[in-house]
Structure 1
């Protein structure tokens, strides 16, 4: 049995068999909720589904819970945290994501969450009556409007000092009873372990998606983790490189260079991803992306991505000029063909990427943009596959380094 499941079973046994010397300390309802949470949630991947079902089971057990939330801090390039919200009568949760900077907002700084995250072991408040204490949080007015009579928040402890927050709210006159609070506190250790497993699974997926892309991350999570594993796929290949980056990085302050690169990669990457492309790697000031030919519109999608990226880069250059910076130049090479898609590297350090002659041709075309003074060059093989020769300018045949035969090349203006 996996170590995590052994720990879960040990926790279940300890909770369900624990007594204080009086027979029947664990009512049937409590045993039912805990046994389900510890032993019957193994097949559920998503913590929001588990949380919703747990709240519904608590309500079925007689706990007057009308609203509950889970607040997680998450490792994500765009968001600092997430909230899972359940309300009585609903079979699905609402999920909200919070941007970086939310931790400095007045809404967060004047909330029970801030108090819990700064060391409080509990925040509990009766909301019955219309009078408002001057020390109350603004959240309480919103809860009163929903008919909530009591609110309670606790830290949800994970391993190595990681802490999140869970809240429950009641709409029962008088709020929660002592037995309800006991049940919550009995359930929390099991929920901590269950939620941590799901959160770390989600974290692993998020980190992989962030650093290798969604498609490659699926392959890795499915077991493609040994050197040499891979498949041959047909793909339209795009390689892009920023011009004069070495000179700019020598002239500009470090933070300006980072800001420049981020703006450039945003302008290039978002259209690629929006059109179904997969960015396999950023290479200094360049990127490599593929559009798998399993999509019959792959070549058309690639051209659409380039057109949108060129428009975005034009806007970025206008902004750079307003800031007194030089406009950015770039080169893009496009080809189509079979590539080996998989793991390459040393025994302990792997890179999930594509290699093959088709990638080399795209790279040579990108380099040729400097010589021909055209920002986007495409091979005849790609143009014929895309059926777009009439929209492009033929530049004739050119010898490419490392290739035995010259390649017919076309220039793309961005107008489609």
Structure 2
């Protein structure tokens, strides 16, 4: 590689790899430009740690003439023999490079190199990517060239690590921000925040199906079980709902103890109000089945659980609410208040799923009229509906 080619590649990285529309495309263009400059690459890996409750990191594997393969690893991978007995464990643990010719007997201690030798790999180097925040990502480079990598080629790779690291760091920070916002405030709210909707009082009115649920008997449960057990039960209980809500187009806005507030927005991309309400009802039916099947072993006793969910549809104010520099992206309005009152009525009636007259009228069929009830804070009584196929719990 001559100095001019190396500078062009470095400048491309420093400029943000603008010709690449995605991380896999960036990895592909980067590796292909190195091959074009004379670097005999066979396999390149980029390993990026993430700040995510479920994922330890993501990786991208490039080989000549093939699509870049993107993958991920959960947090348990850090304790697996596959990782602990790999050269990358040294890179991540000690933030230093690892270089081996594959005819070196020392490589026998790494099972990964057995596969590489079978492919005809002759030389391998793993280089750390040291971020400004003190984190370490990693890259690995291998060749099948008979003489392996030359010193000039290795120095060229080393010289490209700082600009590659800055690009990876910036891209990863942007991805981490999106993932954390999605995790903690929801996908749609996260999109709005990243788009700049961050000022207090900045809110929009939207029509939505509203979901408000809670776990029956949670106060008594909390009083008689250890707090760690209660947290584990809550996580399992919310798992019974969140997947169904998101699968059917809803967004979880808030967990309030054992309570859950979600909305199913009625927008052009989500379909008609009837379609949205039907999906919300289907999510409620799925969640009912999941909670019914949920059980938890506490000592010799087997705990079973019940929950209630109220469904309503109406206008909500959706945006930034809070005090000082502590904001919450949530929804408020009379429609949300009514859903909260209906959920309490569901508990009194020993029902799992109840709906307002507005929701039941839109999502017609399969409802029983449970009567008219006064609603605290509302001038008119509200007619409440329950599913006809549901037998009230004793």
- Please say whether Structure 1 and Structure 2 have the same fold, judged by a TM-score greater than 0.5: yes
Q: Which residue of 1 aligns with 2:346?
A: 369
Q: Tell me what 1:396 maps to.
A: 371
Task: Say which is worse superposed, 194-203 or 405-414, in terms of deviation.
Answer: 405-414
In 2: Cα distance, 1:169 partner to 1:251 partner: 58
Counterparts of 1:285 and 1:373 in 2: how far apart (Å)? Answer: 17
Given that 1:338 and 1:356 are in contact with CA atoms closer than 8 Å, whether structure 2 keeps it comes out as: yes
**Cα distance in 2, alignment partners of residues 276 and 414 from structure 1:** 24
Aligned to 1:19: none
Q: Quote the Cα distance in structure 1 between the aligned partners of 2:186 and 2:64.
A: 38
SS of equivalent residue, structure 1 residue 31: helix
1:42, distance to aligned residue in structure 2 (A): 4.6
1:64 correspondence with 2:40: yes
Q: Does 1:182 align with 2:122?
A: no
Cα offsets for 1:267-296 (capped at 9, x unmatched): 011111111101011111111001112222
Partner residue of 2:124 out of 145, 151, 158: 151
Mapping 1:13-412, distance limit 5 Å: 27-39=3-15, 41-42=17-18, 46-90=22-66, 92-119=67-94, 121-127=96-102, 135-294=108-267, 295=270, 296=272, 297-317=275-295, 319-320=296-297, 324-388=301-365, 391-412=366-387
- Distance in 2, matches of 1:413 and 1:159, equals 60
CA distance in 1, matches of 2:351, 2:95: 62
Q: Is the 2:253–2:330 Cα contact (8 Å) retained in structure 1?
A: yes
Task: Provide closer, same or farther for how the CA distance between residues 57 and 379 of structure 1 changes in structure 2, counting only shifts above 3 A.
Answer: same
Which whole-Å CA distance do the structure 2 matches of 1:95 and 1:320 have between them?
Answer: 39
Distance across 2 between alignment mates of 1:322 and 1:386: 43
Matched residues, number? 385
SS of 1:159's partner is coil
Q: Return closer, same or farther for 1:340/1:146 CA change in 2, 3 Å cut-off.
A: same
CA contact (8 A) 1:321 1:327 kept: no
Mapped partners of 2:300, 2:208: distance in 1: 39
Are the structure 2 counterparts of residues 321 and 394 from structure 1 closer, same or farther at C-alpha, using a change threshold of 3 Å? farther
Please say if residues 91 and 98 of structure 2, whose CA atoms lie closer than 8 Å, have aligned partners that are also in contact: yes
**Distance in 2 between the 1:34 and 1:341 partners?**
45
* CA apart distance, 1:414: 6.5
Q: CA RMSD in A?
A: 1.9
Change in Cα spacing, 1:228 to 1:134, as seen in structure 2 (3 Å) is closer
Mapped contact 2:59–2:71 kept (Cα < 8 A): yes
Whole-angstrom CA distance in 2 between matches of 1:404 and 1:280 = 28
Q: Is the 8 A contact 1:320 1:327 kept in 2?
A: no
Contact 2:215 2:307 in 1 (8 A): yes
Contact in 2 for aligned 1:310/1:414 (Cα 8 Å): no
TM-score by length of 1: 0.88
Give the C-alpha shift of residue 45 in structure 1.
Answer: 6.3
Q: Any idea what the Cα deviations from partners look like across 1:341-366, whole Å, max 9, x if unmatched?
A: 11111131111111111111111000
Q: Deviations over 1:90-137 (max 9, x none)?
A: 3x4211111121111111110001122221622112225xx9657431
Q: Does structure 1 retain, via aligned residues, the 8 Å contact 2:61–2:70?
A: yes
Q: Deviations over 1:190-240 (max 9, x none)?
A: 101111011111111111111001110000000000011121111000000
Residue deviations 1:303-350, cap 9 Å, x none?
110111111111113x55896243222221111001111111113111
Residues 163 and 412 of structure 1, relative CA distance in 2, 3 Å threshold: same
User: So what's the TM-score if we normalise by structure 2?
Assistant: 0.93
CA–CA separation in structure 2 for the residues paired with 1:40 and 1:344:
36
Asked whether the 8 Å contact 1:376–1:413 carries over to 2, the reply is: no
